[in-house]
Amino acid sequence: MPVWNPEYETMPREALEELQLRRLKSTVAWVYERVPYYREALDARGVKPRDIRSVDDVRLLPFTDKTALRDTYPFGMFAVPMEQVVRVHSSSGTTGKPIVVGYTKGDLNTWTELTARIASAAGVTAHDRVQMLFLYGMFTGGWGMHYGIERVGATVFPAGAGNTERQLMMMQDFGTTAIVGTPSYALYLAEVAEAEGIDVTALPLRVGLFGGEPSGEAMRAEIERRLGILATDNYGLSEVMGPGVSGECEHQCGLHMAEDHFLFEIVDPKTGEPLPDGEEGELVITTLTKEAFPVIRYRTHDLTVIETAPCACGRTLARMRKVRKRTDDMLIVRGVNVYPSQIEDALLQVEGVEPHYLIVVDRTGAMDTLEVRIEVAEEMFSDMMSDMVAFTRRVSDRIHSVVGLHAKVTLVEPGTIERTAGKARHVVDNRPSE
């Protein structure tokens, strides 16, 4: 499979590091001159742009967190005047004010280059017909991926999120070969197709580019089987750019990071101290080429591992493991740390459990309660009434062996857990906040 931009994607590591240093120096000078927040933060640490002499000197710089971006709402972190900003997006936060990000023409050009790499790494070419299932709008998913796919020369159908029957009609009539969206929506699409008697595996569809939310290997296998496609994962966040930050190649062995445009660090989420490659920690990102909205050492809260072993595809860019956990999605239930992704993994090890689930945490008296609502396949639901107790025990035992907690497992009718065209919600925490 050809590499979209071999000059950068297969660059020798020493040359890459030189490039990163050059770009890091100019980014630090850029924000110091143009963004009062950064000037103050650097001054407070007694650091000047000229103190950056190696890539590791990034550690002299302060972290940036969401609060800083919120406090300067809406445009206070922009490093260029508004007349140079040609696009604005915002993060998908559900409450309060969102984080607003801006792009110059140059930023859009870089963004398009990076999403073209994602598309190309998944094998998308000018021969493909690509149906966009991501939302267009303030969310970065739709627009970000859209332009990259156009740049590789493929035909885009900008369907946008939702209206699943119509999506399926287009897929059949237009000969869609690739889809782009969230993994949870891909599963829903499979489900609706099955209900309508449409055999998607017999259509020309062959590849799916998924991202925007976590999904495990079991989920990937399910999507690949039910849609008859190769599914790749890609990662990004609005604060840094949107999609395009990292993405898998067809070997599916970690997400190649766009290290020529971003500097990635893994830190201990508690102490902020750097961790060596190969250890799991919080991903911290510094943009190296952003003009309108550069960020310095942005705390993503996403937990991952960086791997530098060479990849069979020939790209020299290091890879990050699929993101399955965030520092802020850990639940503490009866004193035990639980990540929703661990529960998903446990569920999908039991045959007959569908990948639609809801974790409900509550409190009765002083006691935390953990309930996991799951759906089972339609055929099983009717057959299983007699076996229900044994089945829920099997699921609950699996959860116990993975997370060390007893959960009440409730079977719900197929189709009753909320489906969304955007990011799935897997947790409801009803405990009173003290």
- Distance, in Å, from the CA atom of 188 to the CA atom of 198, rounded to the nearest integer, reads 13
Among 110, 238, 316, 396, binds ligand DLL (CB under 6 A): 238
Element at 429 (helix H, strand E): strand 427-429
Indicate whether 70 belongs to the interface with ligand DLL (CB under 6 A): no
If binding is defined by CB under 6 A, does position 212 make contact with ligand DLL? Answer: yes
- Number of neighbouring beta carbons within 10 Å of residue 298: 22
Span of 80-88, 237-245, 264-272, 347-355 interacting with ligand DLL by CB under 6 A: 237-245
Asked if 213 and 184 touch (Cβ cutoff 8 Å), the reply is: yes
In Å, what is the CA distance from 312 to each residue of 92, 233, 249, 251, 255?
35, 17, 10, 7, 13
Place of tokens 């508690």: 270
Residue 236 makes contact with ligand DLL by CB under 6 A: yes
Ranges within 272-301 binding ligand DLL (CB under 6 A):
300
Could you say whether residue 232 binds ligand DLL (CB under 6 A)? no
203 or 338: CB nearest ligand DLL: 338
Nearest approach, Cβ of 207 to ligand DLL (angstroms)?
15
Contact segment (CB under 6 A) with ligand DLL among 232-240, 257-265, 341-349, 380-388 equals 232-240
Counting contacts by CB under 6 A, is residue 237 touching ligand DLL? yes
| Residue 324-343 contact track with ligand DLL, rule CB under 6 A, x = bound | --x-----------------
Three-class secondary structure of residue 266 per DSSP: strand
Among the listed ranges 44-52, 164-172, 230-238, 340-348, the one in contact with ligand DLL (CB under 6 A) is 230-238
Please report whether residue 112 would count as binding ligand DLL according to CB under 6 A: no
* Interface with ligand DLL: number of residues (CB under 6 A): 21
List the one residue from 38, 143, 235, 357 that touches ligand DLL (CB under 6 A): 235
Quickly tell me which residue has 């509550």 as its tokens.
Answer: 362
* Burial track 413-423 (b if 16+ CB lie within 10 A, e otherwise): ebeebebebbb
Calpha distance 300→236 (Å, rounded) = 10
Instruction: For residue 304, give the DSSP letter.
Output: E
Nearer to ligand DLL, 233 or 260 (CB): 233
Determine the interface stretch with ligand DLL among 152-160, 221-229, 235-243, 285-293 (rule: CB under 6 A).
Answer: 235-243
Whether 391 and 352 have beta carbons less than 8 Å apart is answered as yes
As measured in angstroms, the least distance from the Cβ of 32 to ligand DLL is 26
Residue of the chain from 20, 27, 64, 92 that contacts ligand DLL (CB under 6 A): 92
* Per CB under 6 A, 140 contacts ligand DLL: yes
CA 352 to chain CA centroid, nearest Å? 27
Point out the residue whose Cβ comes nearest to ligand DLL.
Answer: 211
Please, what is the end-to-end C-alpha distance for the chain in angstroms?
54
How many residues in total does the chain contain? 434
Q: Which is nearer to ligand DLL, 357 or 391 (CB)?
A: 357
Q: At what angle do helices 217-227 and 183-195 cross, to 10 degrees?
A: 40
Q: For residue 336, what are its two tokens?
A: 């035990």
Q: Give me the residues that bind ligand DLL (CB under 6 A), please.
A: 91-92, 134, 140-141, 211-214, 233-238, 242-243, 300, 302, 323, 326
